[in-house]
Structure formats: structure tokens, C-alpha cells
Structure 1
Amino acid sequence: MDNDVLSILSFNSSRKGLQTLSPHIRSGYLHRIFQCPDTKPDICFLPGDDEAAKLNAIRGYGQYTLQQCEGTVFLYDVNRVQMSRPNVSLNSIGSLPGLDLDKLVVPHVKVFSLQPHQRVVKEFSMVSWKYDLFQSATVPAETLMESILIFSQRLINKTEKPIFIGGEMNIEFDTLMEIVKKISKDREMTFLKSLKPDADEQCYTPSMLKGSTTDIRHRFMMKVYRCKSNSSNDNIQAQDYRQKSDVIIPDCFIASKHLELKDASLLDIEKVPGRQISMPLLQKHKPTQTSMEIPVRPPKHHGG
């Protein structure tokens, strides 16, 4: 039996392109994406500003807004996904440099199996933010990114659920990779150190300890899922960011290894019906997509 897949789409990196379109064309473009079987997402990231809030009247999708209700940050297929407020206080996680909690959006996500036998098959937390979080930050982008990741690690500790992070990040890819690796490694070392006294009593070797805690470690060990494409124009290398000021940097997703994401890619807009979307502007400002593997529970065996 093949595993199920959760489709995820982000418009954060294409926000500026969407805003230049007239409301009629913009609305038609988005509706076609959400209605087309080849592109329809289960979860969609939006930047969370007033312009984006006008784009979300899409049948079958729920909205998850900012605390101040200034705009929508997530749309989700209500037949497949449920989003709710986390059962922990974000203020209890503590303050971190440059991190404005009022601009963060942190839902708890439940994913249901496909009909007719719906059951919860995946749970995780999502972390995103209003589009101007990095623009209005009072600290360097690297410091703010570290704060977001440490916040996410603390949230994992409180909820015991893996994490999915996405939003507009004004940071170079190589630097982002280094920060994610460092924060993940530091957290792993702290975790293993806390278990060492008990492990020594039971004569566990370091490799045995790691092997027996893989599922837990993979909640807080995070990986960057970079945008990839078969098109040479779309597959922008990190070094090109410094050379091309007009480059549109695709979204990167960050997630716990436990969630088994695929590398991101730019949406193939040729799959979306409607001639108006083939205009050069939308060829440049493409949404970014990824997918999450949802293991299918094997059928119960009743003997025989």
C-alpha cells in the first residue's frame, strides 16, 4: 500500500508579484491553483498582510489568522486538516532576541486520513510569521533566525510534537544551513547528555543510546528543505543571491526530520488552467511547494 502525501504550498516568496496584479486577475489565479487537481494544496502559507487577507475566500478551506486578525497566514483543507491554538502559552517559552511574539503564528496541526475512515495520522506544530518580521527586526537576520529556531526547539519540548517552519526569510541559504545545523546539534548534545547517567547504568554505548532515541531526536533535529527545480532558471544557486539584486529567492522550509518532507520546488504554473497566468510576471514570482509523507497504517491482522 502506497503512503499518503500531504501537499504544502507557500506564497511568501511570490507575495510582491501577487500584489502587482489587479484584484480580479489575482483572485482568478489563486482560485485556479486551489481548484486544479494537479496543484491543489492541503496547507497553504500566506504572508499575513492586508493584501493577502483579500485572497482567501476559497471554498473548502479554513483560515488561520494572526492574533490581531490583520491577515491570514495559513489556509487549510478542512476535510483533511485541523488547525487549533497550541495547548501551551507562547509567553511561557520565554523572550528571545528580536522575536516579536505578536507577529508569530503557531498552530497545532492534526492531519486526518482520507475518507471514508478518517482518523488522525499526523500531528505537528507549525511556526510562521507576518511578512515584515525580518524587515522590522531590531537585530541582524542571523540572530532573528536563531531566535526562531530556539523558540521552535522549546515548543517541541513542551508539546512533544515535531515542528514545521516556513515564512519569508531575508537570509542567505548557506548561512541558514549553518544556523539550523548548529541549533539542532546543540539540542541533540544537550538531550543525550541528560540521558547519559541512566545510559551508563544500563551499559549503553553512545551508538546504542542514539539508536534507541532516534524517534525523539528526530523531532528536534531539523533540516532545511531547499527549493529545487528541473529548470535551470528556477534552480537558483546560493552564490547567485549576492550577484543578482532582482532575483526572487524561493521559500525554504525547515522541519523536523521526523516529518519526512521532500525538497521544495517552484510550482509548475503550466499545470494551472487560465491563459492570464502565463504572463512574464507570474513566471518569475512562482509559489513554492513541498509535500510530507504520511505513513499508511497497515491493516490489522486477525489471525488465520
Structure 2
Amino acid sequence: MGNDNLSIISFNSSRKGLLTLSDGQRPSYLQRLFESAEPDICFLPGDDKYANLNVIRGYGQYTIPNAEATVLLYDSNRVKMMEPKASLNSFGPLPGLDFNQMVVPQVEVSTLQPYQQVVKEFSMVSWKHDFFQTATVEVKTLVESIITFSQRLAITTGKPVLIGGEMNIDFTILNQIVNKLSNDNQEDFLSTMQSVMSEQGFLPSMTKSSLRDIRHLFMMKVFRCKSNSSNGVVKTWDDRKSTEVVADCFIASKHLQLAEASLLDVEKVTGRQICIPLLKTHKPTQTSMEIPVRPPRHHGG
């Protein structure tokens, strides 16, 4: 059937560099980058510094519920974002989650005109830049809540999830949290489904493989940003705590075919030399998602 790639860029870890630009410089810088890199989906920090993003033509804006700030931009010719077909409050209270600072759209990716047909569906989870700073719980607890919420969202909607946003947490700890919750919930899910599958004539050894597609909706993987110069993880400096934290990374359902994250070479993409030191240091992060070029035949493709 063939596949295409959906380009995804995050500016969360480069926010510090962007803030060195004046209000007048920031839109033109972002405009040049968008015109050159042409991302399909873009994560933004989501604060009032980006209120004049309407200069970026061809991109739709997805705001937080109180409409104060943009967290997501998307190519409106190819991507559609809408309210999720699930009641978020029905997932039960989770420590630290404030939906007024989060965006949780359902995403449809279509083939280009004139034969626009949906070829990929998933949910996204993101938040404002100060989500972790203003949280009333520890960082580790908040991350656990985000992952648990995303897993419940995947099971409820039957669609994989892509998570992106600034997290002030060490990569090793983040990876441990994601792996533990994925493994624990997989065991709980298989234990619950074992008797149901047995009644349908499945052998116990077949349960896990038979439910692979469902398991890979809520089982998550961290796609970290690796350094080009070494095999290490790219880190940035958190001035609030005087510690190093991992640069932007993405967390996604195993069902989604996401590439490992990397830093975007802005100078190479735009063909312009960057003179501001913080812009050179704090770069956007990019990844890509594999998508079909047309719907499966049984969907009319």
C-alpha cells in the first residue's frame, strides 16, 4: 500500500531561545522556519508570548480549553484536530492533572486534495509550559498521571496516543515510569481478558498475541532526542532547579510508528545563520510518524 511520513516538530525545549527574540522578531523567525521545514504538526509551549501566531498561514491553531494560548499548530490541508470522543473526567481523578492547562485533541490525517480520505487517526496529549511548575504534586507523580490518563484514553477511544510537552524530569526516570506502567497495565489487561478468551476457544498461550493490537494502543514507548556527536541523550539546563533535564522527547503508543527524535538544524533548514547564542543552543526537536498514503481497501481505498 505504501507509506508516507508525517513531520512533527516541538518548540518546547527551544522556548528559552525563542524568548530572547523580541515580540516583533518572533513571528518572522517562526514563519521562516515553518516555510522551510513544513511540519505537519507542531508542539508549542502555550503561553501569551505566542499570541500573534496567525501570521503562520496554512496552519490551524489548537488552544487550551480557556483559549488563552496555542499549544498545537497543524497543517490544516492535511490534519484535522477535534474534541475527543470521550469524557475526559470519566477516567477518574488523577493527581496533578488540570485539564484547563491541557489539550487533548483527536487527530485525523488525510490524503491531500482532491481525494481527501482519512488514513490515520490518533489522540494527542499536551499542556502549557508551566504545567509542571504550577503542579501541586511531585514531578514523578504528575508524569505517572499523564501516562495513566493517556493509556485510559487509548483504551476508551480505541486509538493510539502521542504525548508531547515540556517535562522537567530525567530521562532515565521517565523511561522507568513509562516501562513500568506499560508492563503493569499489560499484565492487568491480559489477566482480565484471559477468561473471556478461553470462553471463545483461545488457548492461554494465544491470548497475548491475539490481543497485540489492543495492547499496543496503551503500551507506551519514549522516543528520546539523541545527541549527534555521541550516543548520549540530549539534555538541557533547568534554571529553576539548577539541574540538567532531558531535552524534548515524545511518548507514543507502540501502535504508532514514530521515529526517534532529533534536534532540528535550523541553519541548514532555513539557510540563515543564527547569531543569538541561546537560539543556537536551544533548538526545536523533530520526529516523524509513518502513515499510509491511502486508506486500506476494505475502507474504500
Residue 27 of structure 1: how far off its partner (Å):
1.8
Match of 1:214 in 2: 212
1:238 and 1:199 mapped to 2: Cα distance? 45
**Displacement, 1:227?**
0.5
Deviation at 1:276, TM superposition (A): 5.3
Q: Does structure 2 retain, via aligned residues, the 8 Å contact 1:13–1:248?
A: no
For residue 40 of structure 1, the aligned residue among 38, 41, 54 is: 38
Question: How far is 1:129 from its partner?
Answer: 0.6
- Quick one: structure 1 residues 298 and 13, their matched pair in 2 at CA, closer, same or farther if it must change by over 3 Å? closer
CA contact 1:97–1:144 (8 Å) conserved in 2: yes
Aligned with 1:176: secondary structure? helix
The one-letter amino acid paired with 2:77 is N
Query: 2:249 corresponds to which letter in structure 1?
Result: C
> Matched residues in 1 for 2:63 and 2:237: separation?
34
Tell me which of 278, 284, 287 is aligned to 1:287: 284
Distance in structure 1 (CA, Å) of the matches to 2:202 and 2:110:
38
**1:59 positional shift:** 0.4
1:264-298 C-alpha deviation (Å, 9 max, x unpaired): 00001122335353432211010000000003348
Residues 188-267 of structure 1 mapped to structure 2, 5 A cutoff: 188-202=186-200, 204-232=202-230, 236=233, 245=242, 249-267=246-264
Equivalent in the alignment of 1:22: 22
1:97 to 1:209, Cα distance in 2 relative to 1, 3 A:
same
SS of equivalent to 1:272: helix
Return the match for 2:65 from 64, 67, 71: 67
Q: CA RMSD in A?
A: 2.5
1:114 is matched with 112
Q: Offset of 1:207 from its aligned partner? A: 4.0
Distance 2:95 2:296 in 1: 48
Matches within 5 A, 1:27-176: 27-36=27-36, 39-176=37-174
In the TM superposition, residue 200 of structure 1 has moved relative to its aligned partner by: 2.9
Q: Is the 8 A contact 2:61 2:74 kept in 1?
A: yes
Among the aligned pairs, what percent are the same residue? 63
Instruction: Check conservation: 1:267, 1:287, Cα contact below 8 A.
Output: yes
- CA distance in 2 between counterparts of 1:292 and 1:201 reads 38
Mapped to 2, the partners of 1:164 and 1:231 lie a distance apart of 27
User: Gaps spanning 5+ residues in structure 1: where?
Assistant: none
> How far apart are 1:143 and its partner, in Å?
0.4
* Partners of 2:14 and 2:245 in 1: CA distance: 8
Deviation of residue 52 (structure 1)? Answer: 2.2
CA contact (8 A) 1:29 1:277 kept: no
Count of aligned pairs between the two proteins:
296
**Letter in structure 2 aligned against 1:139:** V
Q: Which amino acid aligns with 1:19?
A: L
